[in-house]
A and B are shown apart, each in its own frame.
Chain A
Amino acid sequence: MLLILVALLMVPFAGAFLATPTRGRDSDTLAILTSGFTVALAVMAVLMRPRASLVFPLYGIPWLPQGGPLFGLFLDPLSSMMVIIISVIGFLVILYSTAYLSPRNLDHALADGKGRYFLWMFLFVGSMLGLVLSPNFLQMFIFWELTSICSWALISFYGGEKRLAAGFKALLLTNLGGIGFMVALVILYVSTHSFAFDAMQRLEPQTRVTVFLLFLLAAWAKAAQIPFFTWLPDAMEAPTPVSAYLHAAAMVKAGVYLIARIVITPASLPWWIGLVVAAAAVLTMLMACLLFFYQDDLKRLLAYSTITHLSYILLGAGLGILGSATGMIGGILHIINHAFAKALLFLTVGAIAYATGVKSIRELSGLSHRMPLVSLAFFVGILSVTGVPPFSTFWSKFFLLTGAVDVGGNVGLLILIPFVLEVIVAFAWFLRLGQQVFFGEVSKAAAGASDPSFAMSAVLVILMVFCVLAPFIGLPLVHQITH
């Protein structure tokens, strides 16, 4: 089992360095093999895990005593869920990228550079896996910063001043959160001589609140909540598979994973902290929903939608602190539900950009005549993201609603009303968007479009299936977390 986990961690890093000098067809083959192997290892690890969590402490640093080894590998139900998301969506996105990064791409034709792309992608997969397999906060922090660097490199992948600025902005803002993380680590270690996840229990209540708030700052920066959200819409300069993977499914989930990790370990936090978390989530939700209406670029719209969904997850965490277990389950389940749904939407937009070179909502119309599979995928994506059964986010949104009603009182009402409002407004906006872009007369920009190649189409179909299956993968894992 340890061997599987070590291999799971090492294979992406190995793939990254092996992929660097390759080009063209060789890159594709190596990338698909590596990511496929990672998925196989991930599935094996998750299925072979016994019910309780699994810790393999490996070694420590002599001048940083913890009372046990510092670094190691760790797998519990929450990590398993993240491992599945990272590896499966990683595989699908990499398969998609092999077809997307080509000279025929009307959005941004790329003749060369796949080696560099797969280097950073696999580094990211490896660091993200390392983050979720970490047994304590320190190791998590090391991989946290690694993911920020990979994100910077991938956002500015195509080059050019605007993209470099966008990548730099993302790095700067997430590092601001990283400083909060670092300070929290220092305080934690100085007070308890341990970086472990349950070290927070041993803190004084006042210190615990401070440490939690610092971690929250880090999570807010990484997950693009108020007031750090501005990096995510600009990060849409990245190639679309990168946006789908990093900025929808994986990297932004690192922040909410941190909060989820704290919330499920029973460190009793005062009631008003839950209020702070929930209030910030609701504010972010409302703000991002308002900003939907100003967007003309499809990817920026999806970026704001990602911000709202991340705030749902944090709302779930807040509801958990306020006392509702169902709310917390909803928030954690939303991680996996949203990952698949948003990845599907982003990759669909990528297919549109590939075929037409255009991402502007005003210029696109009547696409369903030319691209029927992509239309179906987009509508499945919209329905999944806005929470229509039988698709994924229906389950988590229902649990979150239950959590809000469970909390009850004025607080519950103040959370419930904006939440329901936002759900309905987002649904209306996305449905109208889908109808506008796909139905009606064929616009000039859409005239030359056609359904994408086999690799991209296959990925879209697989993601559509996962949009229905994701809750059934997530529910047993989430159930194990809370019991």
Chain B
Amino acid sequence: MTPIQGYAAVILLLLLGAFVSLFIGRQQRFAGYFCFGLVLVSTVVLGWVVLQVYVHGPQEARESFFWVMGLSEFKGEALCMTCHSSSRALFSVPGFGASLILRIDHLSGFFLLIIAGVGLLSSLFSIRYMEHYRRESLVGFYPPFLVFLASMIAVAGMADLFFFFLFWEVMTLASYALVIFERERQENLRAGFKYFLMTHAATACMFLAGIMLYVRGGSFSFDVLRSTLGQLVQENPGLAHLVLALFFLGFATKAGIFPFGDWLPDAHPAAPSGISALLSGVMIKMGVYGMLRVFLLILPSSYLTTTWGGIIAFFGTLSLFVGSLTALYQGDSKRLLAFHSMGQIGYVLLAIGMGIAFRRVNPAISAVALIAGLFHLLNHAQFKSLLFLNAGSLLYVAGTRNLNALGGLLRRMPWTAVTALVGGLALAGIPPLNGFTSKWLIYQVTILGGLDRPVYVLYALLAFFGSAVTLASVLKFITAAFLGHPSLQARETVDVPWSMRIAQCCLGALCVLMGLFPVPVLRLLYQAISPGLAFPAYEALFGGSIWGVTSNLGEGMAAAWNPLVMVAALLACLALSALIYRLGAAPVRQTALWYCGEAHRPQEVKFSAHSLYLPFKHLFSLRVGSYEQEGVYPVLPIPRLKLRVDLARAFDVDRYLFRPAVRWAMGFMERFSRLHVGIPQVYVAWMVIGALMAILILFAFSRV
């Protein structure tokens, strides 16, 4: 079985599983295990496929695609009605330059790993998590879930823009069905509606861009689009800018960056937590994948790449600033994490934008920036999914997302608390976790890139600031949820079910491992990004060590990082402090909390999540004229559509055309019928007059 056949089989398997799960919605536990089993098989197969891609090179569908199924006479051309002999399409739309071309290259393989990994853990988590909703049937969850996974996997491996768009929209549709899963609540319906409308409209803009290229080039396949876009850049740069702007709009809306991602803070909390993890951890990454495909691999290198790289980096910085800052104001745990998604993807796009912009100028910085961006993407997939799963566990146990109402759950949910701490610190970029390595690389490229273009130093400063704010809001999240006195009657069970715990622990372990051993990951990412682009060798960029990274971006060594050394130092210090503590043997006395002589219940004097960082929050309020709001995120009122009745009346053709016409005709007939008076003499008179007129006319014509 070739890797491409495996890939296609995975997609078909998941779609078939979606169809089957339509009928087992009532057996909820069984449906959960069934779904998990399918996703496990898919993950294993996809892992093998990606391995083949990285070992043997990009995989494509060949003419012998149907060989293994015993349909040896059913070669690829049989399904293809107008394809040329050299194409390797499985199916061609007749008379239209679109064909189903499957191709998995290194970049697609990388994204497939993310989709499969997070999908697996999310489905594991959802087996028990869906009990929270107390439904009779989960027929509204598992079918869309499997279709969602299948469509994301399909998007990653399509090499033809038309079918890319098709599966892209199927992905949006399936995720919409999941976002509105809890459809009794109006805010979820509103969130789903906003999400679907914004992404559909943005995708329509992308369709236009793709069609403009197709009309010039005659085909939707990525190879042809590359040359078409290249020609367009030469002939009509204005139109090329428009096309790229439309693509950017479409992918940025899906990636959820500010200001295109206004749907994100509403949609992610609305969805069930396993799905929030998938949305935040995987689906918005597909927006970044699209941007990489178009701006790095389809757009040929020219001055346009520099411009658009700069634009992407600008929006990335804007998003990281606004997203991280606004997260600080949130009292809903999942909304806080959603704003962080907005912020962190801003980091990713800052790095990727730089990578695209510096391609012609400085390949070393470009390579490191792209790798940093992709690494941060991978890390974000891990720690953000982990945090969403943690928020889901909190919701499962305590029944609320309100951070002000949670508290003191450390003893009841130790596993969740530890993994939340790991995830939160990774989000904030604390060494030696994985978030630190990618952020450290991003800081390097922005500062060193700023030597060429000073604006990037400003971006670097904003990125530092964003990191500090991120740490603050992570601490807010952890403190409010886990520390302090327990203020809610949590359920009697100590912690969440073991399947949910395993999912969280896996992600936490990945965060720690990737932080401690970043070099294999960096090598993988280097392979993902380098084919076809002339980048310096890996050793020239990151040094040859397998334990750490030495960055050679400037003249000579610019920076170095060895996580194991740091962990060793940390452990040594911890051991030293434990020894001192033991030797000191200070007595410890437990006592009740002192409330300055008043008799208070702990709940009354709790320092709630809202109270943290109040002066800082007041500092960042937006005041424009008489419009005042907290935080920098603009809240615009939704325009109410008020239609005037007379506008409809303007189109009422009945009223001023047909009914008057009918009335006129009836009036005419009536007047005409008055000639029928009923007196025979009048009729005879008409006959005589008529006969005379007829004779006159005949004479007149016979003369002529």
Contacts and interface: CB of A to CB of B under 8 A. Distances in A.
Interface stretch (A40-48, A205-213, A383-391): A383-391
A458 to B, nearest CB: 16
A351 B660 CA distance: 38
Interface string B323-358: 000000000000000000000000000000000000
Interface in B173-195: 173, 180, 183-184, 186, 189, 192-193
Contacts of A394: 166, 169
A287 B204 CA distance: 22
B197 A427 contact: yes
A407 B1 CA distance: 45
A202 interface: no
Contacts of B93: 475
B204 A402 contact: no
A412 to B, nearest CB: 10
Interface stretch (A17-25, A118-126, A257-265, A432-440): A432-440
Contacts of A59: none
A155 to B, nearest CB: 16
Given A402-B215, A482-B95, 16 more contacts: A173-B658, A230-B652, A230-B658, A287-B651, A291-B651, A372-B139, A383-B173, A389-B166, A394-B169, A398-B207, A401-B207, A416-B208, A427-B197, A427-B200, A431-B193, A476-B81
Interface string A397-410: 01101100110100
B204 A423 contact: yes
B691 to A, nearest CB: 31
A320 to B, nearest CB: 13
Interface string B10-40: 0000000000000000000000000000000
Nearest to A436: B189
A290 interface: yes
B125 interface: no
Contacts of B183: 368, 435, 439-440
Among B81, B180, B211, B657, max chain A CB count under 10 A is at B211
B211 A402 contact: yes
Interface string A470-483: 00000110110011
Contacts, number: 101
A154 B192 CA distance: 40
A326 B215 CA distance: 10
Given A227-B653, A402-B211, A439-B180, A388 B166 contact: no
Query: Chain A, interface size: which category?
Result: 35 or more
Nearest to B645: A294
Nearest to A416: B208
A229 B200 contact: no
Interface string A76-96: 000000000000000000000
Given A479-B81, A483-B95, A440 B189 contact: yes
A329 interface: yes
Given A398-B207, A402-B215, A405-B212, A388 B200 contact: yes
Name the residue among A294, A402, A439 with the largest chain B CB count within 10 angstroms.
A402
Given A431-B197, A439-B180, A439-B189, A420 B204 contact: yes
Interface in A410-442: 416, 420, 423-424, 427-428, 431-432, 435, 439-441
Interface of A: 169, 173, 226-230, 287, 290-291, 293-294, 325-326, 329, 368, 372, 383, 388-390, 394, 398-399, 401-402, 405-406, 408, 416, 420, 423-424, 427-428, 431-432, 435, 439-441, 475-476, 478-479, 482-483
Contacts of A169: 658
A435 B204 contact: no
Contacts of A432: 193
Nearest to A229: B653
Nearest to A412: B215
A424 B200 contact: yes
A368 B167 CA distance: 27
B201 interface: yes
A439 B270 CA distance: 15
B459 interface: no
B589 to A, nearest CB: 56
B208 A420 contact: yes
Nearest to A287: B651
B643 A294 contact: yes
B635 interface: no
B636 interface: no
A293 B647 CA distance: 11
Contacts of B645: 294
A326 B641 contact: no
B615 to A, nearest CB: 42
A165 to B, nearest CB: 11
21 contacts: A169-B658, A226-B653, A230-B652, A230-B653, A291-B648, A294-B643, A368-B183, A372-B139, A388-B169, A390-B170, A394-B166, A405-B208, A424-B200, A424-B201, A427-B197, A431-B197, A435-B180, A435-B192, A439-B183, A476-B94, A483-B95
Contacts of A482: 95
Interface string B44-64: 000000000000000000000
B341 to A, nearest CB: 24
A388 B197 CA distance: 11
B211 A401 contact: yes
Nearest to A295: B648
Interface string B582-600: 0000000000000000000
Interface in B417-447: none
Contacts of A325: 95
A431 to B, nearest CB: 6
Contacts of B170: 389-390
A147 B594 CA distance: 90
Contacts of A475: 93-94
A227 B657 contact: yes
A420 to B, nearest CB: 6
B215 A405 contact: yes
Contacts of B184: 439-441
Contacts of B162: 398
A417 B201 CA distance: 13
Contact of A388 (B173, B189, B648): B173
B96 interface: yes
Interface in B556-599: none
B670 interface: no
B396 interface: no
B196 interface: yes
B189 A428 contact: no
A435 B200 CA distance: 17
B235 interface: no
B628 interface: no
A455 B208 CA distance: 42
B286 to A, nearest CB: 15
B98 to A, nearest CB: 9
B142 interface: no
Contacts of A229: 653
Interface string B647-663: 11001111001100000
Contacts of A287: 651
Contacts of A290: 647-648, 651
B189 A293 contact: no
A441 B162 CA distance: 39
A293 B189 CA distance: 20
B189 A402 contact: no
A227 to B, nearest CB: 5
Contacts of B186: 440
